[in-house]
Copies of this chain bind each other. A is one copy, B any other.
């Protein structure tokens, strides 16, 4: 198994040349374009890895799964989905026009930026610090890594270069979707995006989602199985942004990508798989990561679709 993973990684690594590290957040531009790592954790708690599996990277949009799971746990599906939709969208991740066009003015789903920011604003915490702590705390339980932390340099870089996210947030407050202070809400958003992890950490998070909420390494129940099901369904339909359809065809597994180069894939009742390769395609998804997942899905017959 470890051999197969190593072969797949080395086979995919040269592809990074076609992509580019995200640079719109300057600090992300420092990532190693040729890094490539993979880790797998099964629902029985077995683990495998290959390549740069100890390379730390910011999880970026993968953190949207954490804040969504927290909101579903604290508020319930009905309350969350009365204010954010569950529809896939062909628009890019940072699109604003749908917020105005849509007759009901809701963000399309919790995995595009607008939806994720709205979800954070619903979380029932008075203070921004408490809200950020709650998200970080859940991320630690999902990965079983109590040392998981925000990378301050990336956080600061995000905060100073995020005009589009500010536009989304102010727009949503003008239409009464977003509650509270915009800068406060965005502070939690920028911090959760800047959480740093390795593919080993994320593979445990994936295994927890695959196992219906029980972390197979720590043995702790972290989420209800119902919440895991909702999160996995949204990963399958909206997790790879406007590349979700192509990913469903090529790989056929629920997954969520981040512009830090990470992709977290979840094979329900079987395993979590995390890959990281910072060179991205035009849609913001890791080029080598998708390649690795496609080959792995074929070799191990993982596709569920």
Contact = CB atoms under 8 A, between A and B. Distances in A.
Contacts of A246: 86
B167 A163 contact: no
A170 B160 CA distance: 12
A100 B97 contact: yes
Interface residues of A, number: 49
Interface string A163-189: 110111111011000000010000000
B174 A245 contact: no
Interface string A224-250: 000001101111111000101110110
Nearest to A248: B233
A103 interface: yes
A88 B248 CA distance: 11
A232 B96 CA distance: 31
A76 interface: no
Interface string A72-108: 0000000000000111111000011111111100001
Contact of A237 (B103, B166, B236, B268): B236
A135 B245 CA distance: 25
A63 B85 CA distance: 28
Contacts of A174: 163-164, 167
A304 interface: yes
Contact of A268 (B164, B249, B304): B304
Nearest to A109: B245
Contacts of A254: 305
A303 to B, nearest CB: 7
Nearest to A250: B233
A252 interface: yes
Contact of A249 (B86, B103, B252): B86
Interface in A251-286: 252, 254, 268
Contacts of A170: 163-164, 166-167, 170
A182 B165 CA distance: 14
A201 B163 CA distance: 39
A295 B242 CA distance: 31
Contact of A171 (B86, B96, B98, B233): B96
Interface string A144-177: 0000000000000000000110111111011000
20 contacts: A85-B90, A88-B89, A88-B237, A89-B89, A90-B98, A96-B97, A103-B103, A163-B170, A163-B182, A164-B170, A164-B174, A166-B166, A167-B168, A167-B174, A233-B249, A235-B305, A237-B244, A237-B245, A238-B245, A268-B304
Give 8 nearest A-B pairs by CB, closest first.
Answer: A88-B88, A97-B97, A86-B245, A167-B171, A163-B174, A167-B170, A233-B248, A164-B174
